[in-house]
Amino acid sequence: MKEKINKIKKFVNRYYPILIPISLIIVMILVFAIYNIHKLYTNYTTSEEDNFFQYFAGQKVSYKGTIKLNRDKEIVEFTVMDEDIELSSMPIYFKSDNADIIKVMFPENMNLVMVEDNYAQYKVVNYATLTWDKANTSYTLKAMDYEGNLSNSFFFDGVDLYFFMNEVTLRIEDEDIDLGPMSIVKVNPRNSLEYYDYQSDEYVVRDITTETITAYNKGFFVNLTEDKVNKFNDFVLLIDPTYLNKLEMKDK
């Protein structure tokens, strides 16, 4: 028995200098493996703070907020800091020092109307972001299970709010109003019209008496009061996003 103990002691004394580093390496490997398994199989999130602004009945409100991202860098939660703001379908603009990058977030589900895809309509899940790179003239949509470029599409909240990513012209009876990219239009057919032109940073609220307000550019013609888009000699009704299939990558 003593002989076995002595052999063990000799072994330990002989290999002690390398046993400790090997043990530490094994422990580090195990910790790293456990961390990545946990990250893979749980709802892993990180949080980031940023500056934002929105318009409410013509008033611009700037605030700080926290976005929570999952492991695919998709926004899964948004919290307003230091302000009592009730989020609705009104888009949220990111403040940025880079004038060539304009980014907006949609707090609620939206109907994405893809004009060049035969006016296909898809649900874009809340907290999706749209980024306009002015220098490269590109628009990138990042949503849950989707990331890709868009061209001449627009968004509808299913009630009365439209977001136009491209230039568009509003027609109110005989009056035309030109709006730049990344602009908002909100129509109450009974009495009011609101629109926000991002390029001029001007939000207008006005009373209306006409029954028909339209928006158009080279690619589409939309009746904003009846929520329908012209399609050749017919029209397509715009659908509440609740009843649409979610926009996903085609390989999913």
Please tell me the predicted confidence (pLDDT) of residue 72: 83
Which of these, 67, 69, 75, lies nearest to 44 by C-alpha position? Answer: 69
Please tell me the predicted confidence (pLDDT) of residue 203: 96
Question: Look-up: residue for tokens 């609620």?
Answer: 108
Please tell me the predicted confidence (pLDDT) of residue 34: 64
Which residue type occupies 57? A
All residues at 6 or more sequence positions from 189 whose CB lies less than 8 Å from its CB, including other chains: 211, 213, 225
pLDDT, mean over the chain: 88
Q: What are the tens digits of pLDDT across the range 126-158?
A: 999 999 999 888 999 999 999 999 998 999 999
* For residues 206-232, average pLDDT: 92
Please tell me the predicted confidence (pLDDT) of residue 41: 46
Residue 6 banded pLDDT, cuts 50, 70, 90: low
CB atoms within 10 A of CB 82: 8
Enter the tokens of residue 73. 């860098």
Gyration radius of the chain over CA positions: 27
Any idea where the domains of the chain sit in the sequence?
Answer: 1-42, 101-243
What is the spatial distance between Cα 151 and Cα 164, in angstroms, rounded to a whole number?
11
Give the full edge-to-edge strand order of the sheet including 234-237: 175-179, 168-172, 213-216, 221-223, 228-231, 234-237
Residue 227 banded pLDDT, cuts 50, 70, 90: very high
